């Protein structure tokens, strides 16, 4: 049976949990026992990492990674270099490896190969036979006769190019030379040359017991081998006469001849460097997943259950990393070459298998697909690991081989590239430039973060002895296929935890954003979403980065609050906590009274009060601590009738069945006058136009205190008649004032008005009874005769002028008086 793809995203897994959580939300209205059970289930889910720590991280960016930056050869310290002989591992003489000038060079330089051979004269024309042959202690001495030596056997050298010739003299001059001299000369095909003269020596000249006298004669002529063989050396002691200073003792004369000779050898130049610090582009295929047929895991890896049989293992579905591709499949067998292992591949597109299992040829690229499954068929082998490389990692190498390359053995001179000590390629040491690229996924191991690249160059020569140089130069070494994925991780926050509150306590502020962190976004960029299973209980919102729980009035119960913190990339952190609001039997609520309430002694006063009790379904009672104060809860009034003057306090208590609420009422009890106008009368029964009348106003004090300087204002609706003042009115006393006024000629009805204490200067128990009006009809004037009329007018005119002057004076006095003081209720 084909296995389903296993690449379900964390969103899908998380969605499953969310479904369960949402189901819990719907069940919150079940009976109490079920609610408790569901709350416990919620706590279990809240502890799950899939719920509280989101798994839906996203890819922020991907980038190519240079897996071998030292391949630019800029930093020599990153390379281990050297050279050694091919078989003894001793330090090489002619090869070296260096990293300089942004290149790696393996240089092999051989000089001309030279050998120096010594030949001795074999014949003496002067019969100085003790001086022929190699030095042997036998010598010829002379104080005058010449000693000649010739005939050098060079038959063994004639096939090699001649490079240098040195004369060797083994002789002695025992004593110092004062007058005598010793001369050494040579006769050759081009003539005669004096080589050396010894004179005026300070002591013994000894080239017998010490090293032989050596003199370069290469430049005397263009030598041939015949010239070398036939040259004659003459050693002559020249006496000045008289007694000889010393003598010449000759043991031998020879030649050091340097020739170019063939040779062979081998040296190895090497360089290696290790990269570390980044995950390699290979992906392990886990043996513990998938399905097996006659297969089992052993200490060595995966092998058939029954030895000698064939087994199969089919992997789980695997896919490539984001924005990357898979390259090639590789496997490792415990004993290389043992048994038989084959790999088959199946390809998926959009979670559907598009091609059935087909045999995958070794070292071939995988076909294009979204996901894959592999099937291993193993016979008599144990597979220790199977992996897929990512992006087909490869090693690319640019360089050249240059130089003379003389004498380099083309068959045995090679340069090799290794990755993790496994051979990648073996190339000939042939002159010219090159660019190579090799896949190296087979040499990288899953889980490793380092690998080593090494190059070794074998310089093997079989030479005629000529000078030669060969250089293997690498200008660029690149390892392709590396990648880096920058993930945008989910936000991480501290869990809020379950909350238990009491009804009517307002709510609570719970820190959230300040306890969150995100790998890329700042806390200000994080967004928060809430879910609330009981919006009738609590309102949830975010206030300055904190979770604000606002309890609704008079509500109790349970709610499950879901919190989701979202970063700008859409990654989330989720949490859920329960909120339990315990019911509280609230005490009655009594509103505050006015700070100081003025009342009158022994006068019943009603004071309004505001109270409520939402939680009490039973009886609510009220009481005071004063016998003269009663409460009517139904009418919400407090009635007081204080018996004495002064400041009094009343304690008001309103109680339900469990608690009481008390308020203090402060009273200012006062004894006040109460002024009222009892009547308005006139001195005439009938009033006529032009009459001068007196208006009498009776004022009574029906209060409990004296009233002093009581002002009484007489007026009509159009004009002021007059203002009179009563000095004092005692409680119960009646006083009067008189106001004179001439009735105008053109009125028929006058509204007379009297006001006591119009400026509210006297504090009274009742300020609403200080005014009285009287509507009076006015008779029309009757004319009797002209004389009498003139007399009347004359008298009336005089009276009018007097009245107008009096009214003007009173008006001026009223204008100069200060503003009226109003009583504040």
- Closest by CA to 171, choosing from 201, 151, 142, is 142
For range 695-714, the mean pLDDT = 91
Helix H, strand E, coil C: the string for 156-203 is: CCCCCCEEEEEEEEEEEECCCCCCCEEEEEEEECCEEEEEEEEECCCC
Determine the pLDDT at residue 614: 76
- Closest by CA to 283, choosing from 188, 391, 202, is 391
Alpha carbon distances (Å) from 695 to 35, 395, 424, 643, 752:
88, 130, 138, 40, 9
Cα angle 304, 306, 311; round to 5: 35
User: pLDDT tens digit string along 52-86?
Assistant: 444 467 888 889 999 999 999 999 999 999 999 99
For range 633-641, the mean pLDDT = 91
For range 598-607, the mean pLDDT = 88
| Contact of 114 with 259, CB cutoff 8 Å | yes
In this prediction, residue 39 has a pLDDT band, given cuts at 50, 70 and 90, of very low
- Closest by CA to 680, choosing from 595, 759, 731, 751, is 751
Burial class of residue 163 in the structure, from the number of CB atoms within 10 Å of its CB (0-12 exposed, 13-18 middle, 19+ buried): middle
Reduced to 3 states (helix: H, G, I; strand: E, B; else coil), residue 15 is helix
User: pLDDT tens digit string along 528-548?
Assistant: 999 999 999 999 999 999 999
The Cα 789–Cα 596 span in angstroms is 66
In this prediction, residue 338 has a pLDDT band, given cuts at 50, 70 and 90, of confident
User: pTM above 0.85?
Assistant: no
For range 737-758, the mean pLDDT = 91
Burial class of residue 518 in the structure, from the number of CB atoms within 10 Å of its CB (0-12 exposed, 13-18 middle, 19+ buried): buried
Tokens of 312: 């199969």
Reduced to 3 states (helix: H, G, I; strand: E, B; else coil), residue 500 is strand
Q: Which residue has the higher pLDDT, 14 or 363?
A: 363
For range 248-267, the mean pLDDT = 95
The Cα 642–Cα 630 span in angstroms is 11
Would the pLDDT of 13 be above 50? no
> Which ranges in 47-97 belong to alpha helices (H)?
49-52
- Closest by CA to 283, choosing from 383, 393, 207, is 393
Number of neighbouring beta carbons within 10 Å of residue 633: 14
Determine the pLDDT at residue 34: 38
| Contact of 272 with 452, CB cutoff 8 Å | yes
Read out DSSP for 522-553? -GGG-EEEEEES-TTTEEEEEETTEEEEEEPT
Would the pLDDT of 44 be above 50? no
Would the pLDDT of 325 be above 50? yes
Determine the pLDDT at residue 555: 87
Alpha carbon distances (Å) from 753 to 715, 722, 736:
5, 11, 15
For range 412-422, the mean pLDDT = 96
The Cα 483–Cα 486 span in angstroms is 10
Number of neighbouring beta carbons within 10 Å of residue 239: 15
For range 359-388, the mean pLDDT = 93
Read out DSSP for 417-479? EEETTEEEEEEE--SEEEEEEEE-GGG--TT--EEEEEEEEEEEEEESS--EEEEEEEEEEEE
Q: Which residues of 53-70 are buried (b: 16+ CB within 10 A; e: fewer)?
A: bbbbbeeeeeeeeebbeb
β-strand pairing of 326-333 with 205-206: unpaired
Is the four-CA dihedral 213, 214, 215, 218 of positive or negative sign? Answer: positive
What is the maximum span of the chain, computed from C-alpha positions, in angstroms?
216
Q: What proportions of the chain, in percent to the nearest 5, are helix, strand and coil?
A: 10, 50, 40
User: pLDDT tens digit string along 16-34?
Assistant: 333 333 333 333 333 344 3
Question: Kind and range of the H or E element at 213?
Answer: strand 213-216
pLDDT, averaged across the chain: 87
| Contact of 171 with 207, CB cutoff 8 Å | yes
């Amino acid at each position: 049976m084909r296995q389903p793809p296993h690449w379900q995203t964390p969103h899908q897994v998380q969605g499953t949990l969310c479904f369960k959580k949402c189901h819990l939300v719907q069940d919150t209205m079940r009976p109490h026992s079920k609610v408790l059970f569901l709350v416990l289930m919620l706590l279990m889910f809240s502890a799950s990492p899939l719920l509280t720590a989101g798994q839906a991280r996203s890819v922020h960016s991907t980038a190519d990674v240079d897996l071998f930056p030292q391949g630019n050869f800029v930093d020599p310290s990153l390379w281990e270099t050297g050279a050694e002989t091919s078989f003894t591992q001793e330090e090489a003489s002619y090869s070296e490896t260096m990293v300089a000038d942004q290149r790696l060079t393996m240089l092999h330089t051989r000089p001309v190969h030279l050998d120096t051979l010594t030949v001795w004269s074999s014949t003496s024309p002067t019969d100085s036979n003790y001086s022929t042959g190699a030095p042997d202690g036998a010598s010829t001495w002379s104080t005058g006769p010449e000693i000649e030596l010739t005939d050098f056997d060079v038959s063994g050298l004639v096939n090699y190019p001649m490079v240098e010739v040195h004369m060797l003299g083994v002789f002695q001059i025992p004593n110092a030379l004062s007058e005598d001299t010793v001369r050494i000369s040579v006769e050759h095909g081009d003539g005669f040359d004096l080589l050396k003269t010894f004179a005026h020596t300070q002591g013994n000249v000894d080239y017998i017991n010490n090293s032989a006298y050596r003199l370069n004669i290469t430049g005397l002529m263009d030598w041939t081998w015949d010239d070398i063989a036939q040259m004659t050396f003459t050693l002559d002691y020249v006496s000045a006469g008289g007694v000889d200073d010393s003598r010449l003792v000759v043991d031998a004369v020879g030649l050091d001849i340097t020739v170019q000779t063939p040779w062979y050898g081998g040296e190895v130049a090497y360089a290696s460097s290790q990269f570390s610090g980044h995950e390699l582009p290979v992906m392990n295929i886990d043996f513990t997943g998938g399905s097996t047929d006659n297969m089992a895991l052993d200490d060595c890896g995966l092998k058939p259950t029954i030895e000698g049989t064939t087994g199969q293992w089919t992997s789980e579905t695997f896919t490539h990393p984001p924005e990357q591709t898979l390259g090639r499949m590789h496997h490792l067998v415990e004993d290389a070459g043992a048994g038989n292992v084959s790999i088959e591949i199946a390809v998926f597109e959009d979670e559907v298998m598009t091609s059935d299992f087909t045999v995958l040829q070794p070292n071939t690229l995988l076909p294009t697909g979204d996901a894959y499954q592999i099937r291993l068929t193993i016979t008599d082998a144990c597979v220790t690991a199977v992996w897929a490389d990512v992006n087909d990692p490869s090693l690319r190498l640019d360089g050249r081989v240059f130089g003379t390359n003389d004498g380099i053995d083309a068959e045995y001179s090679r340069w090799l590239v290794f990755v993790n000590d496994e051979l990648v390629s073996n190339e000939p040491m042939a002159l010219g430039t090159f660019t190579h690229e090799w896949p190296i996924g087979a040499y990288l191991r899953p889980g490793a973060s380092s690998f080593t690249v090494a190059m070794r160059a074998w310089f093997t020569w079989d030479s005629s002895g000529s000078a030669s140089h060969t250089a293997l130069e690498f200008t660029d070494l690149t390892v392709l296929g590396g990648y880096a994925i920058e993930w945008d991780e989910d936000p991480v926050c501290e869990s809020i935890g379950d909350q238990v509150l009491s009804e009517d306590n307002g709510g609570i502020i719970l820190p959230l954003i300040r306890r969150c962190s995100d790998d890329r976004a700042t806390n200000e960029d994080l967004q928060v979403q809430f879910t609330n299973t009981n919006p009738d209980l609590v309102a949830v919102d975010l206030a300055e980065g904190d979770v604000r729980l606002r309890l609704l009035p008079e509500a109790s119960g349970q709610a499950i609050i879901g919190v989701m913190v979202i970063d700008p990339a859409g990654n989330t952190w989720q949490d859920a906590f329960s909120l339990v609001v315990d019911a509280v039997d609230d005490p009655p609520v009594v509103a505050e009274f006015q700070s100081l309430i003025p009342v009158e002694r022994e006068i019943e006063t009603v004071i309004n009060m505001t109270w409520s009790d939402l939680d009490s379904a039973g009886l609510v009672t009220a009481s005071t601590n004063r016998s003269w104060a009663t409460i009517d809860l139904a009418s919400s009034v407090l009635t007081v009738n204080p018996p004495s003057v002064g400041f009094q306090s009343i304690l008001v208590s309103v109680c339900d069945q469990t608690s009481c609420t008390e308020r203090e009422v402060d009273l200012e009890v006062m004894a006040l006058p109460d002024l009222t106008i009892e009547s308005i009368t006139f001195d005439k029964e009938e009033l006529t136009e032009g009459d001068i009348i007196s208006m009498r106003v009776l004022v009574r004090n029906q209060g409990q205190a004296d009233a002093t300087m009581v002002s009484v204002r007489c007026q009509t609706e159009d004009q002021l008649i007059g203002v009179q003042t009563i000095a004092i009115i005692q409680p119960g006393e009646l006083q009067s004032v008189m106001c004179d006024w001439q009735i105008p000629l053109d009125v028929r009805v006058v509204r007379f008005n009297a006001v006591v204490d119009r400026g509210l200067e006297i504090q009274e128990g009742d300020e609403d009874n200080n005014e009285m009006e009287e509507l009076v009809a006015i008779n029309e004037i009757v004319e009797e005769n002209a004389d009498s009329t003139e007399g009347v007018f004359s008298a009336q005119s005089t009276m009018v002028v007097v009245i107008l002057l009096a009214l003007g004076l009173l008006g001026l006095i009223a204008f100069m008086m200060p503003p009226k003081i109003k009583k504040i209720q």
